[in-house]
Structure 1
Amino acid sequence: MTQTVRVLLVEDHTIVREGLKALLTATEDLEVVGEVADGRAAVEAAERLAPDVVVMDINMPKLDGVGATREIREKVNAPRVLILSMYDGEEYVRPAIRAGASGYLLKGSGLSDLVTAIREVAGGNAFFSPTVAKILLQESRGERSVKEAPDPADSLTKREREVLTLVGEGKSSPEIAKILGLSVKTIEGHRGRIMAKLGVHNVAGLVRQAIRIGLVSAEH
């Protein structure tokens, strides 16, 4: 008997999300166990519902798909993540894969491609749309059109990412200290190290960086 794949849908457009749910529910070996509309809710739901695969949009409120993917994949026994997006540019694909996504499918793909992608990702394989696969192949061959410099954000520790996320959400150092159970002095130390690593000099710069690397949404 074929094992059922448990799927969590993460999509901020209600019509799109409901359409995907209806299509996947009609597929015998797929079960939609939850649906949410933002990245923060996705992280919580992934831990609470324990799906096999999270089908994740990129552009969402509160926390975008890259940031949500990163947080989900950091958990123990984390589900696999399949990005389902309308964006196929390198600036979207590479961060998503670095964050831990196992697949990247474009929204213009057919239902059969989506079902296949979910099954492949659930089985521990990777699945990419042809355009995305080409980008990754070029990268593996060293054929990038523009040589990428290492992203300074990659050097941030997990705690520094937590602090930067809260700064991006508009929290003050005392508020962050209370949320994380740390002293204000410790939070200020983290902020100083984050600024040094990212090359910014004020709170506005930290907020821009938090948005750029997907820790918070520009709509927050």
Structure 2
Amino acid sequence: MIQVILADDEAMIRAGVRAILAKAPDIEVVAEASDGNEAVAAVRRHQPDVALLDIQMPRLDGIAAAAQIRRETSGTAVIMLTTFGEDDFIAGALQEGASGFLLKAGDPRELIAGVHAVAAGGAYLSQKVAARVVAGLRMGRAAGTSRYPIEQLTEREHEVLALLGTGLSNVEIAARLHLVEGTVKAHVSAILGKLGVRNRVEAAIAAHEAGLTGRST
């Protein structure tokens, strides 16, 4: 069972997210919080697999709460819940090690898929969030250019990056490509190094920017 804590200062949002997650038989919301401080306390108490955090909350916002959670525990993955117009906050959440970004008004199936992905060790970006992040990265650059040296990757690393960008964990990528998990780990490490990114979420953004996530592998 995947245990989740849910933090949002709007009770109606929490109720809606909880109702969506209740449709997944393997996901359980073990606690709710209305601000970042309560979220951090809930993580300490329950040690959940996933913390769903609203980016903007009173007292302690979602980004600061994510930073504190990541400092205190390595076992809880963080997904940020965002709305349109919060692109500037996404960059800050990336720096604090968030593993996923979902729109509050997005497809309910993405919410469940995102929780499954980060709980399994993957990274998950809502398609609309990914599109906005990529668009922001492209501003000020010449058309067709990328800040990521995708051309340095081998053919196999391209395949791994494409699947990583869709939110798959190392185990799932290994199964899809008929590899052992250790080999996938080595590929992911090589990809992070070659692209100059710090984590799977940034690698997923690189995959989206390069158009790799639209390919079937």
Settle same-fold status: TM greater than 0.5. Answer: yes
Shift of 1:77: 2.8
Q: Give the root-mean-square deviation of aligned CA atoms.
A: 1.9
Q: Tell me the TM-score normalized by structure 2.
A: 0.60
Shift in alpha-carbon separation, 1:23–1:134, aligned structure 2, 3 A:
closer
Gaps of 5+ in 2: 142-217
Question: Distance in 1 between the 2:135 and 2:56 partners?
Answer: 25
The answer to which of 54-63 and 21-30 deviates more is 21-30
Q: What aligned pairs does 1:25-36 form with structure 2 within 5 A after superposition? A: 25-36=22-33
- 2:46 aligned partner: 49
Contact 1:88 1:131 (C-alpha < 8 Å) held by counterparts: no
Give the match's secondary structure for 1:104. strand
Structure whose alpha-carbon radius of gyration is higher:
1
What amino acid maps onto 2:138 in structure 1?
Answer: E
Q: Does 1:127 align with 2:124?
A: yes
Q: Does 1:102 align with 2:94?
A: no
Q: Tell me the TM-score normalized by structure 1.
A: 0.59
Give the match's secondary structure for 2:72. coil
The answer to which of 84-93 and 111-120 deviates more is 84-93
1:67 equivalent among 42, 64, 67 = 64
Q: What aligned pairs does 1:63-212 form with structure 2 within 5 A after superposition? A: 63-137=60-134, 143-145=138-140
Question: Runs (4+) of structure 1 moved beyond 2 Å?
Answer: 87-90, 134-139, 142-146
Q: Does 1:13 align with 2:5?
A: no
Shift of 1:129: 1.7
Measured against aligned partners, the alpha-carbon deviations of 1:84-139 in whole angstroms (never above 9, x if no partner) come to 11145431111011111101011121211100011001111111122332354467
Question: Distance in 2 between the 1:44 and 1:81 partners?
Answer: 14
Shift of 1:25: 2.0
Question: Distance in 2 between the 1:10 and 1:87 partners?
Answer: 18
Gaps of 5+ in 1: 147-220
Give the match's secondary structure for 1:33. strand
